[in-house]
Amino acid sequence: MSNFSPYLERNQAFAASGAQADVPRIPFVPFKQLYLIICIDPRVEPAAVLGVRLGEAIVARNVGGRVTPAIIKDLAWIVHLHENKTPDADWFEIAVIHHTDCGSGFLADDGLRAGYAARGGWDEQTSSEMAVLEPSKTVQKDIAKLRAAPELASAIGNIKIGGYTYDLATGRITTVVQPG
Ligand SMILES: [Zn+2]
């Protein structure tokens, strides 16, 4: 019995429901033209916290929900596809969401960060910048990063970007940077 076994069963039920047919076609334009950047923390699962449904949004998740070079490369690919394959579709909107009590905060611990770097993780400088200690501040930093990314320059004026914080205690999202 693997931890994954129950999901094989849930997948059977999903497939039997026919819901897989109700999705955008490739090259796809998500139903809600939304691109979410959010932490991998299971407590901030977008389907539960935001009610995101199948086909509505692209969801990029990493430690902290941070705008890293990897996140920017993926975004650049989607921008490139949009410009070349679906130029007449509306532009998507990006929502960056950082949350309270984020595990990325442990990256502020000198010992943990040094050990992580030693095993081949991010270098110490990058790691310390990735710690989400004040979500409302880091989310603003990451939006500035998106706006300054040369890979996105051709499109960034067309893409709305919003910044949000999620409070684990209350379950509420707060708008920090109005989408624009
Ligand atoms: Zn987190």
* Other beta carbons less than 10 A from residue 170's beta carbon: 9
Provide the pLDDT for residue 27.
84
Provide the pLDDT for residue 1.
85
Range from 21-35, 102-116, 164-178 carrying the lowest mean pLDDT = 21-35
> What's the mean per-residue pLDDT of the chain?
96
At 128-142, the pLDDT tens digits run 999 999 999 999 999
CA of 113 to the centre of ligand 1 (A): 16
Would the pLDDT of 112 be above 90?
yes
32-51 mean pLDDT: 97
The strand pair at 160-167 and 172-177 is best described as: antiparallel
Our CA angle for 89, 94, 98, nearest 5°, is: 165
CA of 49 to the centre of ligand 1 (A): 14
Would the pLDDT of 28 be above 90?
no
- The SS3 assignment for 142 reads helix
**CA–CA separation, 164 vs 93, rounded Å?**
13
The more confidently predicted of residues 27 and 146 is: 146
Tokens found for residue 18:
């026919």
Residues in the chain: 180
52-77 mean pLDDT: 97
SS (H, E, C) 138-171: HHHHHHHHHHHCHHHCCCCCCCEEEEEEEECCCC
CA of 39 to the centre of ligand 1 (A): 5
CA of 119 to the centre of ligand 1 (A): 21
CA of 42 to the centre of ligand 1 (A): 9
CA of 21 to the centre of ligand 1 (A): 32
CA of 100 to the centre of ligand 1 (A): 8
CA of 14 to the centre of ligand 1 (A): 28
Would the pLDDT of 62 be above 90?
yes
Range from 18-22, 26-30, 71-75, 79-83 carrying the lowest mean pLDDT = 26-30
Tell me the pTM: 0.95
Strand partners, 162: 95
